[in-house]
Chains A and B, each alone.
Chain A
Amino acid sequence: MAIHPHLVICEHCDAVFQRRKLAKGETASCTNCASILYRSEVINVHQRLALSVTAAIAFMIANTFPVVTINLHGLESHTTMWQAAMALGQGDAAPIAIPTAAVAVLVPMLQIAILIWVLLFARDGRRAPGFAHAMKLLGVLRPWSMVEVCMLGILVAVIKLSSLVQVYAGAGVFATAGLMVLMTLIAGRDVSQLWAVTGVGAAGGETQ
């Protein structure tokens, strides 16, 4: 069974198109249903690796330092996204703590770790051990990564509490904002381009 590297199929309507080299900033979309087929390379493998390492640092800061600190008559309280997810673990709503911890902390963490792993090898055009599984997992994780929703959640919580208590933004919130931007750059749909730029021996012919 053969692969046709010069073809692309629209995932939303199954129309088949000839692949074409795109100029920077160009997007190829389906003439049938207007879905995006693929984009020109925004960042190359080396840049993606550099940004992934940056994301790892931002992630550590975002989850170590408090995102919000409140003060009620001299009593102080602060929280991180992990502690917030754990706070749901008390009482009748407890099961929701698991998906919350996943979407806010665990999924982004896994995404960054997997990206760094595959990119370290992709630098030399190689496929990391477990490459296929890693790429599949990245695809499964992508819709469940909610750093940007966390960011909005922090802002809403701050406004909600600001009428009752004194609220301070922690260092974690700035790191979360940075992480939000980095995640859209490194973990988007265009990660699948790694299939085309890596490969051993015969698979090397798969480059577009």
Chain B
Amino acid sequence: MSDAGAASVVRAHEMGVVACHVCGAVCDVVTGTGPVASCPRCDNHLHRRRPDSIRRATAYLIAALILYIPANVFPVMYTTFLGSGFPSTILGGIIDFWRSGSYGIALVIFIASIAVPCVKFAILGLLLVTCQRNSAWARRERTRLYRLVELIGYWSFLDVLVVAIVASLVEFHALSETQPRVGILFFGAVVILTMLSAMSFDARLIWDDEKHE
């Protein structure tokens, strides 16, 4: 079982066992599918697959996609300096860094705020569509993509933290002030929703042949 090639892998339902998603214990299945009693070790409900995985993940993803528009359209920050004020959007901030010659920092923010969310949208969308169709295509690679989403997901919160730090520091009243604007609320919501979408998605569905939902 352990060192054999991929062809001879035994899957949990074939052995009549199920993994507890809280403590990882391997438990015997009592009934067929759906909730199968609770884990004898940690008393958590056992599920063969996360309930409503695809539907929940899709709902979170669509909500995130919709909010991504106001997150980029509305300014995330408003800075006043000696009486004159100017708003800045996420993309505007990146362009400012690039123009002032801070290419490295422009790249870091671009990756965290634009590239990572877009890659997440694309990968989660791909996984949800292929799993709904019970596709057997590139299962190993798709599992790898899921792990990538889990790994990079929370780095997008970077911009929210940067706005928070800058807004709390630059508070010189008449001289200069920085305030958070509504764009950062939408952007933060996008990050949280994509994280929830990835958490709701059950990667084991990639490997299932039979239809689940």
Residue positions of A touching B, CB distance < 8 A: 1-5, 7-9, 11-18, 20, 31-35, 67-68, 70, 72-73, 75, 77-79, 81, 83-88, 90-97, 99-100, 103-104, 132, 135-136, 139, 143-144, 146, 149-150, 152-154, 156-157, 159-161, 163-165, 192, 195, 203, 206
Contact = CB atoms under 8 A, between A and B. Distances in A.
Interface of B: 1-6, 9-13, 15, 17-19, 21-28, 30, 37, 40-44, 97, 100, 102, 105, 108-109, 112, 139-140, 143-144, 146-147, 150, 153-155, 157-158, 160-172, 175-176, 179-185, 188-189, 192, 195, 199, 203-204, 206-207
A100 B161 contact: yes
B192 A99 contact: yes
A76 B105 CA distance: 25
A146 B61 CA distance: 21
Contacts of B180: 87-88, 90-91, 93, 96
B118 to A, nearest CB: 18
B144 to A, nearest CB: 7
Given A32-B9, A143-B199, A67 B165 contact: yes
A165 B176 CA distance: 11
B24 A8 contact: yes
B165 A12 contact: no
Contacts of A5: 25-26
B108 A100 contact: no
B28 A103 contact: no
A159 B129 CA distance: 41
Contacts of A67: 165
